[in-house]
Structure 1
Amino acid sequence: MAQDQTGVPRPLSEAGFRDLYRRLRSRAPGGGADRLTPERVVAAAAEVGCGRTVSLAAPVETRSGPDSPEPATHRMTAPAPGETGAPGLVFARDRFAMNVHGDVDTHLDALCHVIFDGELYGGVPASTVTPDGAGALTLDLVRDGIVGRGVLLDIPRLRGVRWLEPGDQVTAGDLVAAEAAQRTAVGPGDLLFVRVGHRLRRRALGPWDVTRARAGLHPTAMEFPAERGVSVLGSDGNSDAAPSAVPTIGFPVHVLAVNALGLPLLDWLDFEELVPVCEQQGRWHFLCVIAPLRLPAATGSPVNPIAVL
């Protein structure tokens, strides 16, 4: 991949992006979830050692902020005032609502989430997405969950920094170098997780407008998951850098991952509890269990992925 004199990846023209899109699409005859075979699930489970479980989700944000103009809402619907001291049975009840595809809460993007040139993944017409819900490639494809071998590649650790600054871009070379530095390997069917340090930076410095500036993958880095045959891609950002490396396309990595390769995306994960456990255990792979909500016609779902080491 071409870089400027400072080593920063160069912007990609729309023509160059479309050429990359065609190449990756031709190499993805089946979606990523198809690579999660029973044999690979069994192999991932067999590698569990200490039995430690770690959540990869951030707490749901209910306060508005620069990255959450439409925060989730949570309110109690019962008990009514005065009921808590009443004799007999009383239930506490609550109600929850959220913008699933916001810029702060951990969620999964289904394959119907990304429309490009009037099509979904595999050439499915975008007209299958209607005001009543999606009619194809929905969350229902992963109703039985996503379970497999997760691998975390820690790019700030590789570069010797606490986090990548907003606008920084991860290259395929970074991913290969992180594999070597962490003495791990990404293989077919793996769930690939890329840490950019977003959550740590947010906690240290406060939230910011991530629509304008965020760290993520350079589009050409998508050659790496395509070559390795991964089943899922996730990040503690949303995988796309901002500003976009393709000036005319806002979310090129979403297009390449979901629309070209058929990879479900996990956005806005939290790896800050996982990293020290991986360092303590001396390994960066783990069994990962993801259970989306049963929303048959939906384009995505909040999730709480669990790493089991």
Structure 2
Amino acid sequence: MTSYPHPSPGTPEPPAMSEAAFRELYRRMRDERVPGGTGDRPGALAELTPERVAAAAAEVRLGRSVSLAAPVETRPGPDSPEPATHRMTAPARREPDGYGLRFARDRFAMNVHGDVDSHLDALCHVIFDGELYGGVPASTVTPDGADALTLDLVRDGIVGRGVLLDVPRLKGVRWLEPGDAVTAGDLAAAEAAQRTTVGPGDLLFVRVGHRLRRRTLGPWDVTGARAGLHPTAMRFPAERRVAALGSDGNSDTAPSPVAGVAFPVHVLAVNALGLHLMDYLDLEELAAECARQDRWHFLCVVAPLRLPSATGSPVNPIAVL
């Protein structure tokens, strides 16, 4: 069991934002985003250079791999009204046993962008004011699929130096409560407390304790209440020039602190900064292992499915310590 420090003095709740203030923040981040929006690795992935990947691989010490994904949920619940479906297509129920060759077969289907299963968001996932990341017209996404900024951009995977920032550990609690919002100051404080650094090309993972709370207290309707990042916290990954962002929630706080914008962090991350998001990961085992080793960075390998025109994919990121 991970031990937690005594709580530090509380900080004021981050304020609500007007839509006008959010749009100004969006404009600044969009204008200052990482260049390279039209190449094979547009957006923040431009920071993930071969040299940085090689350096991340060279830092592996234990050779231990840890999954950052939760098991796919196939039972309905308050956070999963349309769960993934899995059914066996063979063998048939009345198929006799006996000698010779037979195959067991199954079929799987899921709502990729749901509120319970671990998944990665492609850059075509978030439309804001009629545009995708980089000013690409929203008309490139049709009922038949997307034609630009699709999952195909990460067909070769996302591999680099992962860094975990454990915000509940910083605050001396097991998890953040639904509605709590992580600030840029919280991220910087976690970075300092863990004696680690977040830099260009890193894959940043932020633990809010969502999975531990869900396992302990049971699932709840996360559309109305969940812990996540305050929109202003996105200054931290923007300034550090991270290549991708993941969380054990979906990065956005609910209810939204921005009037008129339901998922402001998604808008800032995917649409303004060109950051691939990883939602609803399970960071509990990783957090425990990082605490044991007192080392909060690791090689991370993210391998989405090959779905060329898709807006996202189920994902099982692997941390190698």
**2:271 pairs with 1:266:** no
Change in Cα spacing, 1:234 to 1:84, as seen in structure 2 (3 Å) is: farther
Residue of structure 2 equivalent to 1:58? 70
- In structure 2, the residue matched to 1:175 is 187
- Other-structure match for 1:286: 298
Contact 1:84 1:90 in 2 (8 A): no
- Distance in 2 of aligned mates of 1:99 and 1:154: 28
Amino acid at match of 1:25: R
Structure 1 CA distance, aligned partners of 2:52 and 2:11?
41
1:162 and 2:167 correspond: no
What does residue 226 of structure 1 align with? 238
> Residue in 1 aligned with 2:128?
116
For residues 81 and 45 of structure 2, the distance between their equivalents in structure 1, rounded to whole angstroms, comes to 32
Q: Paired residue for 1:245?
A: 257
Q: Which residue does 2:165 correspond to in 1?
A: 153
Task: Report the Cα offset of residue 86 of structure 1.
Answer: 2.0
Instruction: Give matches, 1:79-98, under 5 Å.
Output: 79-83=91-95, 85-98=97-110
Inter-partner Cα distance in structure 1 for 2:247 and 2:11: 25
Is 1:24–2:29 an aligned residue pair? Answer: yes
How many angstroms apart in 2 are the aligned matches of 1:6 and 1:101? 33
Question: Do the aligned residues in 2 keep the contact of 1:238 with 1:268 (CA within 8 Å)?
Answer: yes
Whether 1:131 aligns to 2:136 is no
> In the alignment, is the contact (CA less than 8 A) between 1:139 and 1:296 conserved in 2?
yes
**Deviation at 1:35?**
1.1
Please, which of 284, 287, 304 is the counterpart of residue 316 of structure 2?
Answer: 304
Moved over 3 A (4+): none
* Identity percentage of aligned residues: 81
Give yes or no for the alignment of 1:77 onto 2:89: yes
List runs of 5+ in structure 2 lacking aligned partners: 1-9, 37-42
Distance in 2, Cα, partners of 1:283 & 1:212: 35
Aligned to 2:204: 192
On the 8 A contact 1:83/1:90 being kept in 2, the answer is: no
1:149–1:190 Cα contact (<8 Å) kept? yes
The equivalent position to 1:68 in structure 2, one of 71, 80, 83, is 80
Measure, in 1, the Cα distance between the counterparts of 2:218 and 2:262.
24
Encode CA deviations 1:242-279: one digit per residue, 9 max, x unaligned. 00010210000000000000000000000111111111
Note if 1:255 corresponds to 2:260: no
What is the CA–CA distance in structure 2 between the aligned matches of 1:220 and 1:127, rounded to whole Å? 29
Shift of residue 292 of structure 1? 0.5
Deviates more, 1:80-89 or 1:190-199: 80-89
Question: What's the TM-score, normalizing by structure 1?
Answer: 0.97
Give 1:186's aligned amino acid: V
Distance 1:183 1:84, change over 3 A: farther
- Partner amino acid, structure 2, of 1:153: L
- Which one of 15, 29, 32 corresponds to residue 20 of structure 2? 15
- The one-letter code matched in structure 2 to 1:241 is T
- Letter of the aligned partner of 2:145 in structure 1? G
Amino acid paired to 1:23 = R
Q: 3-state DSSP class of the match of 1:83?
A: coil
> What is the root-mean-square deviation of aligned Cα atoms in Å?
1.0
> Post-superposition shift, 1:83?
3.2
Aligned-partner residue type, residue 10 of structure 1:
P
Amino acid in structure 1 at the alignment position of 2:262: G
What code does the residue aligned with 2:196 have? T
CA distance in 2, matches of 1:81, 1:141: 42
Quick one: which amino acid aligns to residue 99 of structure 2?
P
Please state whether the residue corresponding to 1:273 is helix, strand or coil.
helix
**Partner secondary structure for residue 85 of structure 1:** coil
Distance 1:51 1:57 in 2: 19
How many residues are paired up? 305
Q: Distance in 2 between matches of 1:8 and 1:84?
A: 64
